[in-house]
Amino acid sequence: MSTSTRSPGRPRSSVDAEVFAATLRTVHELGYTRATVDRIAAAVGVAKTTIYRRWPTKGALITACLVDTFGPLPLEPGDTRDDVMAKAIRYGAAKIGEPGVAAAFAGVFTDAISDPDLREILSTQLQDPYKSVLQEALGESEQRVLFVIDVVIGTLLHRMGMTGRPMVEPDVKALIEMIQRQL
């Protein structure tokens, strides 16, 4: 009854990790719009059709890439509320500062604002896990946690969009302290 019932036929080659890496690299080098699926496929050394067999659209590919990049928060049992917030913000700042991540994020956002399906994917697959963990770790309401996520991620992305560079340490510290005061 397990899922060990493999479907027949040639199995998919396991290239997801390479595809994600190549996607971020290409988005970093060329920007979201010029990071074509063709180029990404070529960078991996697979055919474009192989990409489209796994992810139905470019937006879905980029979103999956972001979900893969943003792993679980590195929290520890003894963390205080302030520790949790500080670690979460520094983690987010570090991830968004990685090459290509901010551009990919902004690109998906642009599509998501006018695409309910993509927004659903983004909200469910990317935001909800952090929402749950933070609710648990902080003992705060869903509304307040969502507000904090808006502030943290929004601020970091806006800085990247306006300056093209990650937020500098003093501002990250200010962000942490502001949020800690808020909760």
User: Which pair of tokens denotes residue 16?
Assistant: 């997801």
First to last CA, the chain: 46
Between 45 and 182, whose beta carbon lies closer to a copy of itself? 182
| Residue of 1, 2, 3, 11 interacting with DNA (CB under 7 A) | 11
Q: From the list a copy of itself, DNA, none, pick the one residue 90 interacts with, judged by a Cβ distance below 5 to 8 Å according to partner type.
A: none
Q: Which does 103 bind (CB under 5 to 8 A by kind): DNA, a copy of itself, none?
A: a copy of itself
Residues with Cβ within 8 Å of residue 82, at least 6 apart in sequence: 180
Site string for DNA, 24-63 (x = CB under 7 A): ---------xxxxxxx-----xxxxxx-xxx-xxxx----
Residue 57: DSSP 8-state? S
Confirm or reject binding of residue 116 to DNA (CB under 7 A): no
Residues in the chain: 183
Q: Which residues are at the interface with a copy of itself (CB under 8 A)?
A: 30-34, 102-103, 106-107, 109-116, 119, 122-123, 127, 143, 147, 149-151, 153-164, 167, 170-171, 174-175, 178, 181-182
Give the angle 84-183-110 at the CA atoms, nearest 5°: 80
53 binds, among a copy of itself, DNA, none (CB under 5 to 8 A by kind): DNA
Angle at 24 between CA 16 and CA 148, to 5 degrees: 105
Q: Nearest to residue 65, comparing CAs of 12, 110, 18, 109?
A: 18
**Closer CB to DNA, residue 12 or residue 81?**
12
Consecutive H or E run containing 98: none
| Backbone angles phi and psi of 84, in degrees to 5 | -60, -50
9 binds, among a copy of itself, DNA, none (CB under 5 to 8 A by kind): DNA
CB of 60 to DNA, least distance (A): 8
Q: Which is nearer to a copy of itself, 19 or 101 (CB)?
A: 101
